[in-house]
Every structure is written in structure tokens, then in C-alpha cells.
């Protein structure tokens, strides 16, 4: 039974399109995160939600918009995709403010052509 | 400006020997350090952590050492096993709220 799941696992799309990545956790955690692993392999936090409220918003273009319909879900919408958006996106969850105990999803590999 | 760096992109070690993975950081406000392990097509999984009030933490074959004056931490795996082959990420946090990751080191254990 997967703790943190993401869909899709792979996403290939054209520049300018709008796409969404979904994330669900069944751990009962109240904090969820989105990370981007870029071409240099650094994992960088993009957003964090606690109880459906945005608590961390790093300097991410506003083409990226997270949406948390409930505590178990945190979706990532990306508008007007650009080549530089190609990366692996990881969703994670943890108990409130216990960043050291984050559980990660398998990642979504996004390729923008 | 990368606050956490792993300067060795890869490391190859003989099975049974010790693996030492290194990590450097620049932010002196970091107070918690972690190592994550990642297999292909999976997300990172938590391996071991250390608080800044300690200089060593051990969990079975895994030991993390912290040198605050040098802003350096290392992960020792002994003895190394084939199943340890993975990418290892070092991470740091300030106040347990946000993790800052290094770029990872790919460890290969040779039989």
C-alpha cells in the first residue's frame, strides 16, 4: 500500500501547454511538500502546505500553482510550460513541522519539448 | 547559492569495506542534518539523522559524524553491502521546517 503516490510518473508535453501532477498520501500527515530535482540533481523545495494552508513558497514562478483540496492531497498545476520546467518533481509529506521525517513519492519526470 | 554540497558525484567501494560519503554546508544556522537514500524510480527515503548538539549518531551499519567547526558531515557505512548501492542525499534544516538538499552521491558497491 503506497504511502505517497504521484500521478503521472512520466509526462511529455509541448512548450506552452498546461499540465497537472497529482499527489496523495495515506499516512495521515498534515504537511505536504513539492520538490523539484533539476538537471544538476539538487532537490529544491518549491511549496509546503500544512492543513491545506500554504506555509512555504520558495521563489517559484507564478506559473506554478499548488492546490490542496484536503490534507491528503497536494496537486501541482503548471501553466505555460517552458523548456526549463523539465525536471523530476517529488511530492512528500510529514507530520507538522517535522521536516526530518518526510516521506517521498516516487517522482514525476516531466519533459517539455 | 547552494547551501549544502556533496562534492563527489559518485563513489565505488568493494563489498565488505567501509563507504564514506561526505557533505559540506555553509549555513551555520542549520541545526539538524539528515541522510536520505534513493533507489532508481523511487523517492528518497530517510536513513539517519543527527542534531547539531551531537557529533555522532549510529544506527546499525550506518554512522553519521558532524563537525560543526568545519561545517562538514559524513556518512559511514560498514560493512558495505550490494543493497547499499543507491544515490545518497545529504540534507540540512533550520528549525525542522524546511530541508535543503545536496545534489547526491551515487554509491556503487562492487561484489
pLDDT one-digit tens code per residue, A6-25: 999 999 999 999 999 999 99
Give CA–CA dist A102/A32, Å, rounded. 9
pLDDT one-digit tens code per residue, A63-93: 999 999 998 999 999 999 999 999 999 999 9
Position A79 scores a pLDDT of: 96
The answer to whether A99 faces chain B, any CB pair under 8 Å, is: yes
The answer to whether A59 faces chain B, any CB pair under 8 Å, is: no
Q: Identify the contact set of chain B against chain A, taking CB-CB distances under 8 A.
A: 2, 32, 34, 36, 41-46, 49, 89, 91, 93, 96-104
Give contacts of A43 with chain B, Cβ < 8 Å: 44, 89, 91, 101, 104
| d(CA A74, nearest CA chain B) in Å | 16
Give CA–CA dist A3/A105, Å, rounded. 8
Do A104 and B32 make contact, defined as CB atoms within 8 angstroms? no
Burial of A73 (0-12, 13-18, 19+ CB in 10 A): middle
Comparing B80 with A30, the larger pLDDT belongs to B80
Characterize B74-107 residue by residue with b for buried, 16 or more Cβ atoms within 10 angstroms of its Cβ, and e for exposed.
Answer: bbbbeebeeebbbbbbbbbbbeebbbbbbbbbeb
- Mutate one of B8, B38, B44, B92 to test the A interface: name it (highest A CB count within 10 A): B44
Phi and psi (nearest 5°) for A9?
A: -80, -35
Residue whose C-alpha is closest to residue B11's, from B92, B99, B100, B80: B80
Helix (H) or strand (E) holding A91: strand A87-94
Amino acid at each position: 500500500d503506497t504511502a505517497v503516490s504521484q500521478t503521472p510518473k512520466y509526462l511529455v508535453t509541448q512548450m506552452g501547454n498546461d499540465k497537472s501532477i497529482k499527489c496523495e498520501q495515506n499516512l495521515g500527515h498534515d504537511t505536504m511538500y513539492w520538490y523539484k530535482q533539476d538537471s544538476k540533481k539538487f532537490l529544491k523545495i518549491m511549496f509546503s502546505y500544512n492543513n491545506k494552508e500554504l506555509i512555504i513558497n520558495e521563489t517559484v514562478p507564478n506559473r506554478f500553482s499548488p492546490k490542496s483540496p484536503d490534507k491528503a492531497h497536494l496537486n501541482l498545476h503548471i501553466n505555460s510550460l517552458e523548456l526549463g520546467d523539465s525536471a523530476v518533481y517529488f511530492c512528500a509529506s510529514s507530520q507538522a513541522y517535522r521536516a526530518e521525517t518526510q516521506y517521498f513519492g516516487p517522482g514525476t519526470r516531466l519533459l517539455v519539448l | 547559492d547552494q547551501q549544502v554540497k556533496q562534492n563527489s558525484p559518485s563513489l565505488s567501494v568493494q563489498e565488505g569495506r567501509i563507504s564514506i560519503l561526505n557533505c559540506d554546508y555553509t549555513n551555520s544556522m542549520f541545526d539538524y542534518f539528515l541522510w536520505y537514500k534513493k533507489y532508481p524510480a523511487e523517492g528518497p527515503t530517510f536513513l539517519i539523522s543527527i542534531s547539531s548538539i551531537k557529533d555522532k549518531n549510529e544506527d546499525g551499519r550506518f554512522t553519521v559524524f558532524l563537525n560543526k567547526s568545519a561545517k562538514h558531515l559524513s556518512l559511514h557505512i560498514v560493512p558495505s553491502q550490494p543493497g547499499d548501492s543507491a544515490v545518497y542525499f545529504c540534507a540540512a534544516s533550520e528549525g525542522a521546517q524546511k530541508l535543503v538538499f545536496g545534489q547526491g552521491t551515487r554509491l556503487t558497491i562492487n561484489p
